[in-house]
Amino acid sequence: MEAHLQLALANLPTISFGTGSLVRLPGPTIHQPNVYHFNSTTYSAIHSELATQNTPLYTQNGLLNMLGRNLTIKSYPERFQDWVPGKPRLEHAGDQGAKGTESGVVDVVITCEERCFDAVLDDLHNKGGKLNRPVHVFNVDIKDNHEEALVGGKAILDLALSLNEAAGRARDEAGDGGRAWDQGNREGFDEKVPDILAEWQERWPNMPALWSLAWF
């Protein structure tokens, strides 16, 4: 969600998802997590429930703060596996970064853990690539805590901006009335992705990256 916020603040169209079966948040002990359903429980409902449960505890561990941030980003957590790519997202217009995601597709998926990367690739196999639309799936390994999330959010934003810039450049270069094309410069954005990622990895060596060209 930190990454969602940073990407949206940079005016990049953004959707965010979880890949687990349930939304799991820390509870009073490590053995008693607070568990919610995806796609139905709103962030404000979770926030108010936890606030009534134990305000000092959840303030102290930053959970209420995080939920307070999240409910300004989007109304409720969504699950990747339940997402139907290509289904218009007009009802999400209030979410931050919603502009540009109305058609319900994205060009890039970025996960923050290897198991999420695996889950996304697996789910895309299950979805069957019905849209015939390519999507670059990245993984940026980030430890799940507030500090790392902040740093990881910056790293993801860096990656996204690098990709966006390359895509924009490729589009502009091709838009010169076909001169570049005739000169044999027909390179597009996609083939540059491995190089962009490799450069990014040099800048962020502590977040081992993965990537795959998958299909919606």
Partner 1 sequence: MNLSQLESARALALGEGKYYNTILPGVLPIITSAVTNSDLEIQRWGADFLAEAFAAPTWSSHDKESVSLSVLPILKDLLEVKDTGVIKSSIQASASIYPLVYRHIIFHPNDTQHWQIMLAVKSNILRRMDSAPPGVRICCVKFVQQIILAQTPGMVADPRRPEQNDISLALVPRDHALIPYANLEAEASGLLDRLLDIIHGDHSDALLVTATLNSLGMLIQRRPVVANKVLASVLNFNPLKLANSPMTPRNKVVMRSMERTTRALLINVIKRNPEGAFNGRIQQYLERMHRMRLDVFDEANRKRPAPAEPTDGLDPAKRQRVGANASITPASIPRLPPGPVSYRQLYTIDADSNTANFDVQAFKDPEQLLKIVLLVLRSIDETKLGNAINIVRSRYLDLSKDSIRTALPVQPTYPVSVDDEEEYEPDFEPDFEPEDAEQLTNRLDGAPPENIVRDRVPEASLAPYRLPEAPPLTREEAYNYGDMTVRRLLGLISATEEVASKAKGTKNGFNRLAANTYDRDAWVTILSRLATRARGGLLDANQLIKSEYHDAKKGRQSLSDTIREAIYTYIMYDWRKRIDVAVNWLTEEWYNDRIQADATRLDARESVNGTTVDELNPNSHYKRCVLRVLDGIVPFVEGSDKGLLRLMSEIPELDKEILQRMKKMAEDPERIDLSIMVLQYIYMFKPPARKICIQVLEEMWYTNDRAKPKAKKLLVKWKPEVLETRDDVKMEHTSSNGNMEAQSV
- C-alpha–C-alpha distance, residues 168 and 172, integer Å: 6
Q: Which is nearer to partner 1, 144 or 202 (CB)?
A: 202
Asked if 194 interacts with partner 1 (CB under 8 A), we say yes
By CB under 8 A, name the one of 115, 130, 143, 169 that touches partner 1: 130
Check binding of 56 to partner 1 (CB under 8 A).
no
Regarding 122 and contact with partner 1 (CB under 8 A), the answer is yes
Residue that has been written with the tokens 């139905």 in this structure = 40
Beta carbon of residue 171, minimum distance to partner 1 (angstroms, whole number): 6
Q: With binding defined as CB under 8 A, does residue 94 bind partner 1?
A: no
| Sequence-ordered strand ranges (E) for the chain | 23-25, 34-36, 108-111, 134-140, 209-215
183 binds partner 1 (CB under 8 A): no
**207 is an interface residue for partner 1 by CB under 8 A:** no
DSSP 3-state assignment of 83? coil
* Spatial CA neighbour of 200 closest among 160, 172, 168: 160
CA-to-CA dists, residue 14 to 25, 77, 108, 114, 119, angstroms: 23, 13, 10, 20, 19
Helix (H) or strand (E) holding 138: strand 134-140
Q: Is 57 in the site for partner 1 (CB under 8 A)?
A: no
Residues at the site binding partner 1, with contacts judged by CB under 8 A = 29-32, 84, 86-88, 90, 102-103, 105, 114, 117-118, 121-122, 124-126, 128-134, 170-171, 174-175, 177-178, 181-182, 186-191, 193-195, 197-199, 201-202, 208-216
